Structure 1
């Protein structure tokens, strides 16, 4: 066996262990909540010593970051698959399909959603821009933004004049536009973020059952939200069709 073969085998074993850690961490998260996801708890479930797992993650914070990044990657992959399936469809149909996919994944994975979005800074320190969690979250952020950029650069959509916005809001939008390398100008970002707040806010309330006192079926409410979002981007709203059958126009 060559040195390369030995290295490849070790890497395969390492990747297999990391996948097992992620699987068990998810199981604990779903069954017992975020506080149950600790290195020692994982070690007990997997059947190894705690020190053995510290070779993979030096702290619980690092473990939670990695698990959260994995969920972001999973959700982003699902959204990318939807975007690809609807690649030849008009922009409105593609974006609507992606929004519905986001809701489908979120409601099917409430524990994962809550770890990612409802308590995004559950570790004791903020993730830096080089961390797996930050990078995975940024990739998720871009998948919707890229679609809106295409619309802005193509047909465009109504946006407020910056002078009509509060000075603090203008400054924050300019800063964020710089942060994303000018993918969208501040005024377009205002529309994009307003739409995201609507979408994300409703999803949070649904996943966390904050509207159960009034609604037993939130799909019509979600579709109303999508109709409003379409209006914000000057897109035509269309009711849902079979997600496996993109409509041809």
Structure 2
């Protein structure tokens, strides 16, 4: 916690700037985010905001980092309540937590996983670590399942190009994984399929009347992800 009144006031102003920034994401979209508009809603001149946030891109980066951490916190909180010795159930809990957060924060989710903002490139040195929190949790789950012998191996071994083998090796090193290539391949598919399913729901890509119960559809999709990862029946 900030230790002086001035530090506390600065922290409160930053919180207000980010809160207003999130509100503008919801009403105007990320591409239209404007520090002048944030300053207006904050009740100060625009030059005052620049003392806290240097540019629109800086504000976007702060919102991206906060968004990844908010999603990661939601997933961590859900997994903390899940059985520690049941990776299949933990996979389902993780998936539900991602969907619940995304539906509660659609504009924030859209900033992270929707259409890229024209002219904005998220700085990797600030966004990668929070951005992989959920992926790291997912990898821990399938690593646990592999060590426990819960996953069926493919009937045929997979063959990788030398370049992709290097990429898979970097994944192992980055996340301290001790799993074979076939499981990394399945894990990538589960990762992309999970966020694809959530995005279809959040962005209403199914159409309004296609499915009577999207929550039930998502549970079926989780069943498919469990099968795809190779959990034995």
TM over 0.5: yes
Q: Deviations over 1:124-145 (max 9, x none)?
A: 234223x1x2221122321222
Equivalent in the alignment of 1:173: 168
Equivalent in the alignment of 1:59: 55
Equivalent in the alignment of 1:192: 187
Q: Paired residues, what number?
A: 230
Work out whether residues 152 and 231 of structure 2, in 8 Å CA contact, stay in contact via their aligned partners in 1. no
**Unpaired segments of 5 or more residues in structure 1?**
238-249
TM-score normalised to the size of structure 2? 0.85
Work out whether residues 72 and 136 of structure 1, in 8 Å CA contact, stay in contact via their aligned partners in 2. yes
TM-score normalised to the size of structure 1? 0.80
Note closer, same or farther for the CA distance 1:36–1:121 as it changes in structure 2 (3 Å cut): closer
SS at match of 2:124: coil
Note closer, same or farther for the CA distance 1:127–1:216 as it changes in structure 2 (3 Å cut): farther
Equivalent in the alignment of 2:33: 37
Note closer, same or farther for the CA distance 1:192–1:122 as it changes in structure 2 (3 Å cut): farther
**Unpaired segments of 5 or more residues in structure 2?**
none
Equivalent in the alignment of 2:145: 151
Equivalent in the alignment of 1:142: 136
Whole-Å Cα distance in 1 between the matches of residues 97 and 68 of structure 2? 14
Tell me which of 107, 114, 117 is aligned to 2:113.
117
Whole-Å Cα distance in 2 between the matches of residues 164 and 148 of structure 1? 18
Whole-Å Cα distance in 2 between the matches of residues 184 and 65 of structure 1? 33
Equivalent in the alignment of 1:97: 93
Work out whether residues 72 and 133 of structure 2, in 8 Å CA contact, stay in contact via their aligned partners in 1. yes
Q: Deviations over 1:17-52 (max 9, x none)?
A: 111111111111111211332211110110112121
Whole-Å Cα distance in 2 between the matches of residues 236 and 47 of structure 1? 59
